[in-house]
Amino acid sequence: MAEPISRPGVRVAARVLLVDPAQRLLLFHGVDPHVPDESFWFTAGGGVEPGEDLLAGARRELREETGLWLPPDRLVGPVWLRRVRFSFEGVEYDSDEWFFLAALTDPAEVDTAGFTDLENRTVRGHRWWGADDLRRTTETVYPLQLAELLPGLLADGWDGRLRLID
């Protein structure tokens, strides 16, 4: 699937489940400046630009946020679709987030030099999370079903079907 099915007024985002050779997932730690006491963890990715397909958007976002440039065949999916409404910096969003899986074959250093001004203001850091970390945490992690769904996706691989998640 190259082009997302669009819904009027909906922000389309391409997100990447980036997994290292130890099967750990990269997550960023962020905060909404309007609610600074409530932090959360989230995957790499962001808004798809006009005229950009999902895969190109996922690859671009991954490059900007991690410094990693993966060839198109290294991203699998989209494996999940999350339809979500949220508020950020006082703006309400209705968003379709399309998730791709990318498994690294070698350890990689994350380089956030490509962050946008917004990301520099709102991202506090990043870390690699194992399945046990995701299950045990009391912190907010998006998508909310990540701890439940990611281990099966990594163990069994993608079956070619798009799964709607929360």
pTM of the model: 0.92
**pLDDT of the residue at 87:** 82
**pLDDT of the residue at 130:** 97
**pLDDT of the residue at 91:** 82
Does the pLDDT of residue 1 top 80, yes or no? Answer: no
* Model confidence pLDDT, tens digit, residues 112-152: 999 999 999 999 999 999 999 999 999 999 999 999 999 99
Quote the tokens at residue 30: 């962020």
DSSP state of 34: T
* Model confidence pLDDT, tens digit, residues 28-86: 999 998 998 999 999 999 999 999 999 999 999 999 999 999 999 999 999 999 998 88
Report the distance separating Cα 69 and Cα 101, nearest Å.
Answer: 14
Per-residue pLDDT, averaged over 3-24, amounts to: 84
Cβ neighbors of 111 (< 8 A, separation 6 or more) are 66, 67, 68
Does the pLDDT of residue 4 top 70, yes or no? Answer: no
Does the pLDDT of residue 2 top 70, yes or no? Answer: no
| Residue among 94, 87, 76, 86 at smallest CA distance from 163 | 76
**pLDDT of the residue at 125:** 97
**pLDDT of the residue at 89:** 79
